Amino acid sequence: MTPAIAVVAITEAGAKLGRRIVRALPGAELHAPARRVVRADVAFADAAAHLRALFRAGSPIVGICATGILVRAIAPSLRDKRGEPPVIAVAADGSAVVPILGGHRGANRLAARIAGILKVAPAITNAGDTALGLALDDPPPGWRIGNPNAAKPIAAALLAGKKVALEIEDGLSAPWLDALQSAVAGGKGRKSGTIRVTSRSGVPAHTLIIYPPVLALGVGCERGTEPRELIALVRRTVAQAGLTADAVGAVVSLDLKADEPAIHALAAELGVPARFFSPAALEMQAPRLANPSDTVFRATGTHGVAEGAALAAVGRRGKLIVAKSKSKRATCAIAWSPAPLDPTRIGRARGSLRVVGIGPGSDEWRSPEASRAIALADHLVGYGPYLDLLGDTARGKRRHTSPLGAEEARVRTALDLAANGKSVALICSGDAGIYALATLVLELKERDDRADWNRIDLAIVPGISALQAAAARAGAPLGHDFCAISLSDLLTPWPAIETRLMAAAVSDFVVALYNPASARRRTQLVEALAILRAARSPATPVVVARNLGRAGERVTITTLAKLDPASIDMLTILLIGASSTRLVSHGGRDLVFTPRGYGAKELPR
C-alpha cells in the first residue's frame, strides 16, 4: 500500500493550514505535536525523530514549517536520491511551496497541487523542469521509465543544446513530451542520445526508454486460481511477444471475477489498476475476437473473457496484438491502444465498503485508519448527525443519510453503491462492530447472498466504543471481567434481556448498559436496576456518561442506590461496578477502578 501523505504541522497555526491541505488531498493525514495541537490524525512528541521515521518509511512529507527544520531533521537519513520520498516545505502563512527532495519522484507534482490549493506559484528549482518544461525521469501517472539512470545525461545534453533523437512508437501519441520538440529540433552536433517511447522490450545503450500505458492485459481464470500461476502466464506471454509489462496500463476482466484474488495479486505485482466489465460489454467485442468460444459463452454470457476485456479496454481504435494464451487454469490476451489508457474510463473498479467506527465523534478519538478510510471514500453513508460529526473530513463527499430506525435501508444503500464500483464508507458511532452496522452488513450478505455484494472489497474499521470512552473518563472500571447489555427491546425481546441481566448480576460482572432509556422507553432501566440492586451493594459505584467526546459531555460518578433513572436518556451509557469496584481520590476528584488481582500476586522484587 502506498504510504499516506503526511502533512506535518509544528504549531496550531500551521495545523489550521494543514487541515485545509488535507481536505484537498485524498488519503493525506495531519501530523502534529500532541502538546501544541489539539486535533490531528497522528500525534507525536519529537518532531525531528518523527520526520526521520516518516522519511525512512517512504512517506511523502509536507512540512508546514521552516525549510531548515525539515533539512536538519532528515539530513542524517539521506542515502540515495532515487529512493527518497517527496519532501515539501510550505510556509505557515501559505505564501510559499518549496519541493526540497524527491522532485522527480513526485515532489514537484505534489508541490504544484498544493500550490494550486493555496493559489500561489510553486518554487520548483530543478533545471529540467524550468528549462525544458518537464522532468524526463518523472513522467505522468501510468508512464514508466525503463532506465532512470539515462535521464540525467539525456537532460544534460538537451540543456547544453546537443542533438538528441526523439523516437515515438508508430501510431502512438505522447502529448506530455511536446515541450521537448523545440529542444530536440534545435540540437546540434553528433547525436548524444535517444529518447524512445515504446511498448516493446529491450534497452539500447545511450537510450532513455519511456514506456507509455498503452497495453490492456485481459485475463480470466478459474475460481481459486493460485496467483503465481496467473502471474507466470502473464510474464511468459508478455516476454514471448517482445513486449514489456511496464507498458501495461490496466489489468481487465469480467465483473464476475472482481473478487478473484489472483487477478488483484497480478494487478499489484504490475503496479496497475484492475478494472472489470459486464458480460454484455464484453459480448459487444465478439466480432473482434480471435478465439470466440461457445463454451465460455454458456458459462459467462460472453464469447471471450481475456480477449474481450482487452479489446473493450482499448476501444475501437485499439487492436488485439496477442491472442488468448493459456495455462492450466488461466488465460490472458493483450490489446494495444494508440492513446495512453486512463483506468478511470475503463470498465469499473472493484467497489469497496469500509464500515467505519468513528468513536464518540471527536477528531482526537478517531483512529488514523478511520480517517484514511473516510478520506479515500467518494460516498459516505450514515445517520445524518453522525456524518455531521465528521466536519471538514466529509467535505466534497456524496452524502447518503437516513433516519434512526432505517438501518437496513442504510446498509443496503452502502452495499449497492459498493457493488456498482464506488468507494464507500458506512459511518457508525463508537465501534463499527459493537451495537452498530458491521453485523447488519454481514447479516444482509448472508440473508440475500447477492453475487454483486459478495464481490466487493469489504473491511471493518474499529473505533473507540462508548464503554471504552466512559471507562477512560472515569478511571479504570473495566479493569476486570465485564459485559455489555443493550436495554433496547426493539430488536431483542425483553425476556432475553432480562435473562442476561440476571446472569450478569449473579456472575458479578461490571455491566455496561447501552441504550438505557429513551423518551418512550422508560421502564426497562427501572427493571434492570432492580435486578442489579438485588445482587449488589447499594454503594456499588456507577459511572454515568453522556455525550462523550462531544459538546456538552458530562461524566458523573454515583452509586447504585442513588442512581436516578429519570436523569438517563439515549445519549447516556452506564457502567455499573462489580462487588470489587471501588473509588480512589486523585487531584480532588474520585476515580473508579476494578482491581484485577495484582495485589494478591507475589511479584519479583
| Alpha carbons 52 and 63: distance in angstroms, whole number | 12
Task: Tell me the pTM.
Answer: 0.78
Domains and CATH numbers, the chain: 6-125 (3.40.50.11220), 144-211 (no CATH), 215-345 (3.30.420.180), 352-464 (3.40.1010.10), 467-593 (3.30.950.10)
Question: Which residues lie closer than 8 Å to 555 by C-beta, 6 or more apart?
Answer: 470, 473, 474, 543, 544, 545, 546, 548
Give every strand in the sheet of 6-9, ordered side by side: 42-44, 29-33, 6-9, 61-64, 87-90, 97-101
Residue 89: per-residue pLDDT: 92
Which amino acid is located at 158 in the chain? L
Burial of 584 (0-12, 13-18, 19+ CB in 10 A): exposed
| Alpha carbons 124 and 108: distance in angstroms, whole number | 7
Average pLDDT over residues 94-107: 83
Alpha helices of 144-258 — where are they, by DSSP H? 151-159, 181-185, 227-240
Residue 120: per-residue pLDDT: 87
The pLDDT tens digits of the residues spanning 252-293 come to 999 999 999 999 999 999 999 999 999 999 999 999 999 999
Chain position carrying cell 480477449: 307
- Of 101-105, 167-171, 539-543, which gets the smallest average pLDDT? 101-105
Q: Does 81 score more than 70 pLDDT? A: no
Residue 130: per-residue pLDDT: 56
Q: How remote is the C-alpha of 343 from its chain's centroid?
A: 18
Q: Where are the extended beta strands (E) located within 28-96?
A: 29-33, 42-44, 61-64, 87-90
Q: Does 597 score more than 80 pLDDT? A: no
Strand-pair category, 423-428 with 352-357: parallel
| Alpha carbons 478 and 500: distance in angstroms, whole number | 18
Q: What percent of the chain has pLDDT over 70?
A: 94
Phi and psi angles of residue 168, each rounded to the nearest 5 degrees, phi first: -115, 130
Residue 24: per-residue pLDDT: 87
Q: Are 560 and 529 in contact (CB under 8 A)?
A: yes
Strand-pair category, 61-64 with 144-145: unpaired
| Alpha carbons 281 and 331: distance in angstroms, whole number | 19
| Alpha carbons 326 and 340: distance in angstroms, whole number | 27
Question: Which residues lie closer than 8 Å to 590 by C-beta, 6 or more apart?
Answer: 557, 583, 584
